[in-house]
Amino acid sequence: LQVWGSPDSLHRLPVHPLWQSPLTIPGGTRQSPINIQWRDSVYDPFLKPLKISYDPTTCLHIWNNGYSFLVEFDDSADRSIIVGGPLENQYRLKQFHFHWGAINEWGSEHTVDSKFYPAELHLVHWNAVVYPTFEEAVMEGNGLAVIGVFLKVNSLSHHEGLQTLVDALPAVKHKFDVFDPSCLIPSCPDYWTYAGSLTTPPLTESVTWIIKKKPIEVDENQLEAFRMLLFTSDGEEEKRMVDNFRPLQPLMNRTVRSSFQ
Ligand SMILES: CCN[C@H]1CN(CCOC)S(=O)(=O)c2sc(S(N)(=O)=O)cc21
Ligand SMILES: [Zn+2]
């Protein structure tokens, strides 16, 4: 059962320093996240299917960066890439991470018809065809491409691939041998796409967002494992890592395109 994130229930949300105002970019015109109003999205028949080819051995390690937990990949060559979709070039996988809530009523960054999902996965890629370094790509309009995947809780559906990550969380600073993140991406090819930004500082307007229409299903225990992580480091007063999502941003003069009718 998906509960609609009602604005009043979000007023009481304690906001982590990272997401406190003035978390605005003066003159920002393409900020993320946004609400995706399904009926306002425009089907674009020229959008290609997104082609995802990840090499699981490029997986490096999982760690807690104080805002989320992320799994980083070796992006020194074109071994884990995406191409097609709305993209002009191929983009290299750099890392993936999640955003989630304290309870299942909210947690995603993007919403669909004003509905929050309990969590959202971001697979971050950069345009190594055009830019020599990731740091430079972060600053350019076509520098990054992030695939967003919603997580939905279904107590009957334990997600095998996610469990590999969940098992590593208690000792986050975990060396992985291999992990293929395509197991976290729904096989349904349908997505929305729009021009946006990073949802954390530096908030640069450099992201082509590709938001999968279908969520993946995880079980409650798997989400609870995310909520056991901490924002704080050893010795500090413990603050559970929850509600690490940015507030919705104005759509302004943007159209969200869909790859499906
Ligand atoms: C907490 C820091 N998060 C950011 C770190 N990076 C940018 C700066 O790096 C030099 S990044 O490109 O890896 C991304 S993507 C991303 S989101 N939520 O929009 O997908 C946030 C960040
Ligand atoms: Zn993110």
For residue 219, count other CB atoms closer than 10 A to its CB. 17
Atom of ligand 1 nearest to the CA of 68: 1
Q: Is the CB of 224 under 6 A from ligand 1?
A: no
Q: What's the chain's Rg over C-alpha atoms? A: 17
pLDDT (tens, 9 = 90+) of the chain, 261 residues, equals: 233 334 444 444 555 666 655 577 878 999 999 999 999 999 999 999 999 999 999 999 998 988 999 999 999 999 999 999 999 999 999 999 999 999 999 999 999 999 999 999 999 999 999 999 999 999 999 999 999 999 999 999 999 999 999 998 888 755 567 899 999 999 999 999 999 999 999 999 999 999 999 999 999 999 999 999 988 888 889 999 999 999 999 999 999 999 999
Between CA 157 and CA 29 the distance in angstroms is 39
Strands 144-153 and 216-218, sheet pairing: parallel
Q: Is the CB of 142 under 6 A from ligand 1?
A: no
Between CA 3 and CA 168 the distance in angstroms is 29
Q: Is the CB of 112 under 6 A from ligand 1?
A: no
Peptide bond into 22 cis (omega under 30): yes
What is the DSSP-derived secondary structure letter of residue 225? H
- Closest CA relative to residue 71, chosen from 179, 147, 152: 179
Between CA 71 and CA 51 the distance in angstroms is 21
Q: Is the CB of 19 under 6 A from ligand 1?
A: no
Concatenated DSSP letters of 88-103:
SS-EEEEEEEEEE-SS
Residue with CA nearest ligand 1 atom 10 = 135
The Cβ-side half-sphere exposure at 91, using a 13 Å CA radius, reads 32
Residue with CA nearest ligand 1 atom 3 = 200
Q: Is the CB of 135 under 6 A from ligand 1?
A: yes
Select from 92, 94, 124 the residue to mutate for testing ligand 1; criterion: most ligand atoms less than 8 Å from CB.
124
> What spacing in Å lies between the alpha carbon of 204 and ligand 1's midpoint?
9
Burial of 235 (0-12, 13-18, 19+ CB in 10 A): exposed
The CA distances from residue 226 to 119, 212, 247, in Å, are 10, 21, 20
Between CA 27 and CA 30 the distance in angstroms is 9
**pLDDT, tens digit, for every residue of 204-258?**
999 999 999 999 999 999 999 999 998 888 888 999 999 999 999 999 999 999 9
Peptide bond into 33 cis (omega under 30): yes
- Closest CA relative to residue 219, chosen from 150, 133, 160, 146: 160
Between CA 66 and CA 45 the distance in angstroms is 41
Q: How many residues does the chain have?
A: 261
Q: Is the CB of 248 under 6 A from ligand 1?
A: no
Q: Is the CB of 195 under 6 A from ligand 1?
A: no
Would you say the ipTM is above 0.95?
Answer: yes
What is the DSSP-derived secondary structure letter of residue 167? H
Kind plus residue range of the DSSP H or E element containing 218:
strand 216-218
Task: Give ion ligand 2 contacts, CB < 5 A.
Answer: 122
Q: Is the CB of 34 under 6 A from ligand 1?
A: no
Terminal C-alpha separation, the chain: 25
